[in-house]
């Protein structure tokens, strides 16, 4: 997780907008939060398509992403989307990725992991359908263990995060010589600004 040191204090960051705020610079505005949120649905759908097609042994094999398994990456990608509806409703986003190993341990086996991801995606999709355009019309500030962040920036950061790891999943399958189950690629989404490096 990126961080910045200001006046001797290290502050973790979720999104570049937090750095702008810390430096007293103007923000970029909410942008199209509704589109960004639905982009995330497409990314999570694509992830699940690949996950369902993999044999159990592939899910726990180390990947080039610092040796992290696809089980670990799945928990890391999907858990924030379990938390986002609460961030909108209560203004709190208690995402602590350092606890992902505990979450993984509670999801032994392939079916439990797939079920967890399906449930997280279903909850996010239902939330978006219920709230509609409201999530793009207001931009409340949300508190997190990594500081305060505007709702729009939080959604954008989690779309970026999911896309970054989706690209790693796609590349990992290629390196393993496994055919893709789906055709979606994150390059089909607008304004992601992913780095050239995949791992």
**pLDDT tier at 190, thresholds 50, 70, 90:** confident
Residue range 155-179: mean pLDDT, rounded: 97
Displacement of CA 155 from its chain's centroid (Å): 9
Q: Average pLDDT in the 68-82 region? A: 98
pLDDT value of residue 148: 95
The predicted-structure confidence for 113-165, as pLDDT tens digits, reads as follows: 999 999 999 999 999 999 999 999 999 999 999 999 999 999 999 999 999 99
pLDDT score for 171: 96
pLDDT at 5: 59
Contact 186, 167 (CB under 8 A): yes
**Residue ranges covered by each domain of the chain:** 30-188
Q: Could you read off the pLDDT of 11-38 as tens digits, one per residue?
A: 454 434 434 443 443 444 445 999 999 9
Bigger pLDDT: 8 vs 194: 194
* pTM for the whole structure: 0.85
Query: For the domain bounded by 30-188, which CATH number is listed?
Result: 1.20.120.450
Distance CA 15, CA 160 (A): 10
Q: Is the dihedral of CA 110, 176, 194, 53 positive or negative?
A: negative
- Average the pLDDT over 69-75 and give the result: 97
With vertex at residue 105, the alpha carbon angle to CA 104 and CA 107, rounded to the nearest 5 degrees, is 65
Higher pLDDT, 3 or 39: 39
Measured CA to CA, the distance from residue 30 to residue 16 in angstroms comes to: 13
Q: Which residues contact 198 (CB under 8 A, 6 or more apart)?
A: 167, 168, 171
């Amino acid at each position: 997780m990126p961080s910045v040191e200001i006046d001797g204090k290290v502050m973790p960051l979720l999104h570049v907008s937090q750095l702008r705020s810390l430096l007293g610079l103007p923000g970029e505005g909410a942008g199209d939060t509704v589109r960004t949120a639905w982009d995330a649905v497409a990314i999570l759908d694509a992830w699940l398509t690949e996950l369902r097609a993999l044999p159990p042994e592939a899910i726990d094999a180390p990947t080039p992403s610092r040796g992290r398994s696809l089980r670990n990456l799945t928990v890391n990608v999907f858990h924030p989307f379990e938390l986002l509806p609460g961030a909108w409703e209560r203004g709190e986003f208690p995402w602590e990725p350092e606890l992902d190993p505990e979450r993984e341990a509670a999801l032994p086996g392939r079916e439990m992991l797939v079920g967890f991801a399906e449930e997280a995606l279903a909850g996010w999709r239902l939330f978006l359908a219920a709230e509609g355009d409201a999530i793009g019309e207001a931009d409340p500030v949300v508190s997190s263990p990594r500081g305060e962040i505007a709702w729009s920036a939080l959604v954008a950061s989690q779309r970026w995060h999911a896309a970054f790891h989706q690209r790693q999943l796609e590349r990992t399958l290629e390196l393993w010589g496994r055919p893709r189950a789906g055709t979606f690629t994150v390059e089909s989404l607008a304004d992601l600004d992913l780095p050239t490096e995949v791992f």
